Amino acid sequence: MSIKIVPQEQLTQQHNKTSIIPNIPLVYYPSPKSLYANRLARITQLTMDSPLSDYLTFCHKIVLAQSEIVAHEPLHCDFAHLVQQGAAHDCPPLSLENLPLNDTWFNYLHKIIAMTQAINTEIDAILNQLKKYTKDELFAKAQHLLMGRYAEVSSNESLFIWCALSVYYTQLASLLPGKAVADTAQQCWHCPVCQSSPTASIIHIGQNTGLRYLHCSLCESEWYVPRAKCTNCDNLENITYYSLDRELSAIKTECCEKCHSYLKIFYQDQDPHLDIVADDINSLVLDMETEKLGFAKSGINTLLFSIK
């Protein structure tokens, strides 16, 4: 078994058969406009007193570009048949296996490049190199990243390519029809919507108080995974947590003694304004301290130069 997307009509049929189905956590598709608006606000807040304010200011320019893309160049598609096709093939609906990459994201990359120029000479050098590549060369780099072959692409270039891909896939995910049920099965560390790795996990408040969801690094969907379980190898034993200052910290690292990986976990009850991408960057000191203990990060952050 694996985490699966369930079309709306199938979910409705199951709902009519049993009263248990409504209590099964859902896979949540992103809402691009509010997602980027909230991220911009959070970055602005964090920049005020962060030692990483210069880098967060750079990130703000990228997220602003993503926000403008969603506002002025939105995707308009009907993906009902893709969900059905993905279910038939038992693969995520937005995975490369089910949905080959088209060239829409190229326009997004050029928009991001245009809005992040003239920050400093180092970034300008990266952007100038990206502009020299042919469409085929950029497409090949994107394919490497989507297939998890991160070492095949310069990490500096990966940042911009991944951000362009992310705003594309985030819009695709928001257009998927119906709802989805998340099976709490094994091998749950890949996004059931696009098959990418998570950035981190979050403990929600509100309707899903206390439930843990992984947040996708590409399409920004979220899917349920039980707590105290390694999100890299499914290990249920010897899971330890570390934070910088206090036990009730809003951000911790969840570390697995079996595979020696870790992923950050965010607690909304401690800080309801957390943004996984922005706060992951702002808490890089926690990464450094955790890696000193011998753990390697299993997640990907779309706004970091170094993609693991």
Domains in the chain and their CATH numbers?
Answer: 32-174 (3.90.1670.10), 198-297 (no CATH)
CA distances to 67, 148, 262, 290 from 96, rounded to whole Å, are 25, 12, 27, 33
Q: Distance (Å, rounded) from C-alpha 288 to C-alpha 260?
A: 15
- Position 2 scores a pLDDT of 44
Length of the chain: 308
What pLDDT, on a 0 to 100 scale, did the predictor assign at position 91?
78
State how far the Cα of 308 lies from the Cα of 301, in Å rounded to an integer: 9
Q: Which of 307, 306, 308, 304 is nearest to 59 (CA)?
A: 304
Which two structure tokens, joined as six digits, stand for 119? 């920050």
| Residue 10: per-residue pLDDT | 53
Taking a C-beta distance cutoff of 8 angstroms, is the pair 107, 70 a contact? no
Q: Are strands 222-224 and 296-297 parallel, antiparallel or unpaired?
A: unpaired
Judge contact between 26 and 179, C-beta under 8 A. yes
Beta strands in the chain (DSSP E): 198-203, 212-216, 222-224, 239-242, 251-256, 261-267, 296-297
- What is the reported pTM? 0.89
pLDDT in tens, the chain (308 residues): 344 555 555 544 444 443 333 455 678 999 999 999 999 999 999 999 888 999 999 999 999 999 999 999 888 776 656 656 655 567 788 989 888 898 899 999 999 999 998 778 888 999 999 999 999 999 999 999 999 999 899 989 999 999 999 999 999 999 887 666 655 555 577 898 898 999 999 998 876 678 889 999 999 999 988 887 888 887 778 888 998 876 668 999 999 988 999 999 999 999 999 999 999 999 999 999 999 999 999 888 888 855 33
User: So what's the pLDDT on residue 98?
Assistant: 85
Within 10 angstroms of residue 106's Cβ, the number of other Cβ atoms is 15
**Three-state DSSP class for residue 181:** strand
> Going by DSSP bridges, is the β-strand pair 251-256/212-216 parallel, antiparallel, or unpaired?
unpaired
74: nearest Cα among 206, 198, 172, 190: 172
Contact by Cβ (8 Å): 73, 110: no
Give dist(CA 283, CA 244) in Å, integer. 9
118: left (phi over 0), alpha (psi -120 to 50) or beta: left
